[in-house]
Structure 1
Amino acid sequence: MNGKHITKLGFENKAVGLALAAANLREDAGVSRGDILDELRSVQGYPEQYAGGGVYAELAAHLLEQRAKQQGQQSAKLRAAPLPYRIWGEDLIEPGAHAQMDVAMRLPISRAGALMPDAHVGYGLPIGGVLATENAVIPYGVGVDIGCSMMLSILPIGAQNLSTEEARSLLLKHTRFGAGVAFDKRERLDHPVLHEDTWKEQPLLRHLYDKAASQIGTSGSGNHFVEFGTFTLAQPLEDVPAGEYLAVLSHSGSRGFGAQVAGHFTNVAQRLWPTLDREAQKLAWLPLDGEDGQAYWQAMNLAGRYALANHDQIHQRLARALGVKPLLRAQNSHNLAWKQQVEGRELIVHRKGATPAEAGQLGLIPGSMADPGYLVRGRGNAEALASASHGAGRQLGRKAAERSLAKKDVQKYLQERGVTLIGGGIDEAPQAYKRIEEVIARQSDLVDVLGEFRPRVVRMDTGSEDV
C-alpha cells in the first residue's frame, strides 16, 4: 500500500498520511489491499462511525474536524429565489442557460452574477456564466478544462507573405492535437511552470506531474485550435502600427492534468454537501478557509499557469520556425476563478467561458473555424463583474450539429471565406455557433474592439466526422 492508492480515493494532505498509517497497520494484520481500500472508502463516507476508537479513529477525527471547519455556519439550503443579475444579449441565449444561472444565484454563497451573450448550457454553471461567491470556490463554476485560454501573436510579416501550403506544413509539424496526445520523453518540451515547487505540495499534483510534463505544448480535442490568419489593426497599439499582419491565434487548456484536478475536487465538494438540492449538486463548493478549498485553489491556479505555458510553447515554436519575434502578444484565461474586489469586499469571481475585461485589459474573443475573432480592451463594467463573452457560443450541441449539418454545406462555408482546415469535425462547424458579429454587438458596453483576426489555415483535432 502506498500514497498513490490513498490519493486515488480522494484523500488530501494530512489525511493521506493518516490513512496510509492506518492502512499499513491493517496490512500488517493480514488484511488484503482490496479490503483495506473498501474500509478507507467507508471511513471517508461515514467518519462518525469510526471516531469512537480503533485503527481508523485518528483519521476519522481529522475528517470530521475538516468537515466541521469547512461547513462552519454555512447552510446547503438554496435561497427561495435567485439574486438579481444582468444579462447581455438575452435574445441570443437559450432558456436552459437562464435556468442554470438562476440555480447558481440561489446558492447561499452567491453574492453577484452576470450572463454573457455567448451563454449556453454547461455542467453546473452555464458556459458564459460569471458568478461571485463569498469565501468559496466551485470546481464546476470554473469548469473541467481549468485555465482554458486564448493567445494571439502578431508577427512582423505581411498577411499574404506566407502561403497556404507553408502555413499548413508549419501547423502539421509544430502542433499536436487530441485527447491523450503527448510527447515521448526524448521529445518533451520544457517550461518554467514544470519547475515550480507547487507540484510537490500535494499528493495529487505529484501524481499528475508526469502527465503534465508529457503533454505540455499540445492541444486537446473539441473546440481547441491553432490558426494562421490575417490580423487587421485599425489604430496603433503599443508599438504596433495600424495595418494588416500575419498572426497566430490559439485556443487551448490544461489538458488531462486540469481535467483530473477538476474531477477530483468536484467529487470532494459533492461529498461535502450531501443534502444539496439535486438541481444544484454540480455547483457544490469548497470553503476557501478549509483544507480542501485551499488545495483546490492552489491546483486550479497551477493549471491556469500550465495552460498558458501550452500556448507559450506553441507560439514560440511557430515564431522560431518563421525566424521572427512577435510584435505583440495578448492572452487571457476564460475558465478560472479570481479574487476580486466587488463593491468594497473580496469575492471569488468564477468566469466559466467568460473573458476578464477590467478597464484597459486586453482580451481575445474568437468566432469559429471560419469566422473572425477580435482583440478587445475591457471597459471594467461593474454589473458584468468586469467580464465579457469568451467566444461566439454554441447554438447547436455537438450531437445536434452532427445530425443536422451537411458536410458539403460546411465545406462551402469554408471555401467562400478562403479557409483551409486541418482536422475539425462537423460538431465544430461554423453553423453550430452563434454569429460572432451579433455577440460582439451585444457587449459594446463591456469591451472596445481593437483589431480583427480572420482565419486562413486552421488546425484542430479530428472530429467524429471530419469536415
Structure 2
Amino acid sequence: MNGNDITALGFRGKAIGLALDAARERAKTGVTNRDVLTELAHVQHHPESFTDDPDYAALARELLGQLAKVPDALRDRPLAYRQWGEDLIEEGARAQMDTAMRLPVSVAGALMPDAHFGYGLPIGGVLATDNAVIPYGVGVDIGCSMKLSVLPIEQLSREEEARLLRRNTRFGAGGSWERKVRPDHDVLDEDTWDEFPLLRQLRDKAAEQIGTSGSGNHFVEFGTLTIDRPDLGLEPGEYVALLSHSGSRGFGAQVAGHYTRVAQNLHPKLDPEARKLAWLDLDREEGEAYWTAMELAGRYALANHEVIHQRIAQTLKVTPLVTVSNSHNLAWKQRFSDGREVVVHRKGATPAAHGQLGIIPGSMADPGFVVRGRGNPAALESASHGAGRQMGRKQAERELDRAAVTRYLEERGVTLLGGGVDEAPQAYKRIEEVIARQADLVDVVAKFTPRVVRMDTGKEDI
C-alpha cells in the first residue's frame, strides 16, 4: 500500500502520512490491504469513534482538527454579558460564564440572579451560540421543567394530600412504577425512538420511569395559589394547586453523557478549562442527532408531569381549571432583533418571552411564583428558574442543623414527605430577593405557598 491508495480515499495533508503509517502497522499484524482500506474509510467518516484506538488515534485526532469549522482556540477575553442580582451570584459561577463567553461559537449571554456553580455552563446561565449546541450547556437533566395545575376543589386535609402524593408519585434515581400499574403516554409511541440506536436502546428505560420524579430538588407538592390579577383567566383569590418539578430521568442523563463525550472527542484541542463546554455543529450528523434526542427528552420530561398531574386529578375526579408549564434545561433556536438565528441554551433559566407564562419555585418551605415574561433582549428573553443554591449539597449536610430545618418547616406550616438536609430551605437563596432582582425580566401574576411536599428521601432525611 502506498500514498496513492491513501489519497484515493480522500485523505489530505498530514492525514495522508498518518493513515499510511497506521496501514503499515496494521499490515504487520496480518490484516489484508482490503480490510485496512475499509478500516481507514470508517476512521475517515467517524473519527470521533477512534480517538482512543491504539492504531488510529493520531489519525483520528488529525481528521477532527481538519473537520472543525471553528478553531478550538478560546477568545483572549470573554464577550460582555449582563448579570442580574450580581450581589447574589458566587464568583465560581461568574468564572464559568466567563469561560463560556470565550468560546469561539458564543455570541451572547446572561447570568440570572439564582446563578451558581455547575458543570460546564453555570446553573442560571443563558448562552447564545452560532449554529452549535453544547450538551453541558443544556445540562444533564435535559428538559427539567415545572408544571402547575389549579384544581377546582376545597382545601383538603394534610392527611388526604399526603395520601394522594404517596399513592400517585414515585421518586429516586432508579424510581419507577410497578409493572402492573405502569402508566403510558403518547411520547413513548413516537417514531423518533427508532431514528438511531441510542434512542432505541433507551426507550425501555424511559418507559419504566414515565410519570416519576428523580432525586435532588425534584418534588410534587400541594399548596395554595394566591391570585391578585386576572392573568390566568381566574378571579383573584386563593385556590388549591398542585406543583411539580421533574425532568427526563435516566434517559436524559444518558443522552447528555453520550453526546458530551462525542463533543469532547470532536474538539480534542479545546482548552481543559472549557472541556465541559465542547460543542456539536448543527450541520453535522452528531449535532443533528443530539438535537433530535434533546427535543425528545424535553417532550418526555413534560410527559412525566402530565402523567403525575393526570393521576392525581383523576383520583380527585376533577379537571384542572388552569395549567402552566415551562422547561428550564433546553436549547432553543431563536432570532435576534437583527434577524440572525442563534441557539439559546438555558441551563437552569426560565424562558421569558414577552407575555410568556412561567414558574419560578422557591424551596420546600418557601413560596414559588407564576410569572409573565417581559421579553428583555439583554437577558435573551430569560429569567431565573428558582431561588438558586447558596450552599453545595455536601456543605449543607455538614453545616445545617436538622432541628433548625424542622423548626423552619413547622413555622411555615409545611408537611414534608422525604426530603434531605441537602435540600433544606437554608441551602437556598431567599426567593423574594431573587424575584426582586429581575423586575425587568418578569411580572409576578400569582404566588404559590407550599403545604404538603413530597421529595426523594435524600442522603440524610430531615
Q: Fold conserved (TM > 0.5)? A: yes
Aligned pairs (5 A) from 1:47-446 = 54=36, 55-64=38-47, 71-158=67-154, 161-343=155-337, 344-446=339-441
Rounded to whole Å, the distance in 1 between the matches of 2:315 and 2:239 is: 17
Rounded to whole Å, the distance in 1 between the matches of 2:316 and 2:198 is: 39
Instruction: Return the letter of the residue paired with 1:123.
Output: Y
Contact 1:48 1:60 in 2 (8 A): no
Contact 1:265 1:296 in 2 (8 A): yes
Q: For residue 51 of structure 1, report the CA deviation from its aligned partner.
A: 7.2
Q: For residue 237 of structure 1, report the CA deviation from its aligned partner.
A: 2.9
Residues 165/47 of structure 1: CA separation in 2 closer, same or farther (3 Å cut): farther
Contact 2:64 2:267 in 1 (8 A): no
> Secondary structure of 2:230's partner?
coil
Q: For residue 458 of structure 1, report the CA deviation from its aligned partner.
A: 0.1
Contact 1:70 1:290 in 2 (8 A): no
Q: For residue 47 of structure 1, report the CA deviation from its aligned partner.
A: 8.0
Residues 96/238 of structure 1: CA separation in 2 closer, same or farther (3 Å cut): closer
Match of 1:9 in 2: none
Contact 2:48 2:265 in 1 (8 A): no
1:366-415 Cα shifts (integer Å, max 9, x gaps): 00000000000000000000000000000000000001100000000000
Rounded to whole Å, the distance in 2 between the matches of 1:366 and 1:129 is: 17
> Secondary structure of 1:237's partner?
helix
1:158-180 Cα shifts (integer Å, max 9, x gaps): 3xx20000000000000000011
Rounded to whole Å, the distance in 1 between the matches of 2:280 and 2:103 is: 13
> Secondary structure of 2:162's partner?
helix
Q: For residue 183 of structure 1, report the CA deviation from its aligned partner.
A: 2.2
Rounded to whole Å, the distance in 2 between the matches of 1:192 and 1:259 is: 21
After superposing the two structures, state which structure 1 stretch, 192-201 or 60-69, moved more: 60-69
Residues 49/272 of structure 1: CA separation in 2 closer, same or farther (3 Å cut): farther
Residues 134/47 of structure 1: CA separation in 2 closer, same or farther (3 Å cut): farther
> Secondary structure of 2:330's partner?
strand
Q: For residue 347 of structure 1, report the CA deviation from its aligned partner.
A: 0.2
Instruction: Return the letter of the residue paired with 1:61.
Output: Q
1:287-310 Cα shifts (integer Å, max 9, x gaps): 000000000000000000000000
Contact 2:263 2:278 in 1 (8 A): yes
Rounded to whole Å, the distance in 1 between the matches of 2:79 and 2:196 is: 36
1:264-314 Cα shifts (integer Å, max 9, x gaps): 000000111111111100000000000000000000000000000000000
Runs of 4+ aligned structure 1 residues displaced above 6 Å come to: 46-49
Residues 175/51 of structure 1: CA separation in 2 closer, same or farther (3 Å cut): farther
Instruction: Return the letter of the residue paired with 2:79.
Output: L
Instruction: Return the letter of the residue paired with 1:202.
Output: F
Gapped runs of 5+ residues in structure 1? 1-45
Contact 1:334 1:351 in 2 (8 A): yes
Q: For residue 57 of structure 1, report the CA deviation from its aligned partner.
A: 2.5
Contact 2:114 2:434 in 1 (8 A): yes
Residues 463/106 of structure 1: CA separation in 2 closer, same or farther (3 Å cut): same
Rounded to whole Å, the distance in 1 between the matches of 2:328 and 2:72 is: 28
1:74-98 Cα shifts (integer Å, max 9, x gaps): 1000000000000000000000000
Rounded to whole Å, the distance in 2 between the matches of 1:47 and 1:221 is: 48
Match of 1:41 in 2: none
TM-score normalised by structure 2 residue count: 0.89
Contact 2:73 2:270 in 1 (8 A): yes
Instruction: Return the letter of the residue paired with 2:41.
Output: E
Rounded to whole Å, the distance in 1 between the matches of 2:23 and 2:171 is: 49
After superposing the two structures, state which structure 1 stretch, 272-281 or 61-70, moved more: 61-70
Q: Percent of pairs identical after alignment?
A: 68
Instruction: Return the letter of the residue paired with 2:136.
Output: Y
> Secondary structure of 1:448's partner?
strand
Aligned residues: 420
Rounded to whole Å, the distance in 2 between the matches of 1:105 and 1:448 is: 28
Gapped runs of 5+ residues in structure 2? 1-17, 25-32, 50-62
Match of 1:3 in 2: none
Instruction: Return the letter of the residue paired with 1:377.
Output: R
Residues 47/115 of structure 1: CA separation in 2 closer, same or farther (3 Å cut): farther
Contact 1:71 1:287 in 2 (8 A): no
1:407-463 Cα shifts (integer Å, max 9, x gaps): 000000000000000000000000000000000000000000000000000000001
Q: For residue 49 of structure 1, report the CA deviation from its aligned partner.
A: 6.5
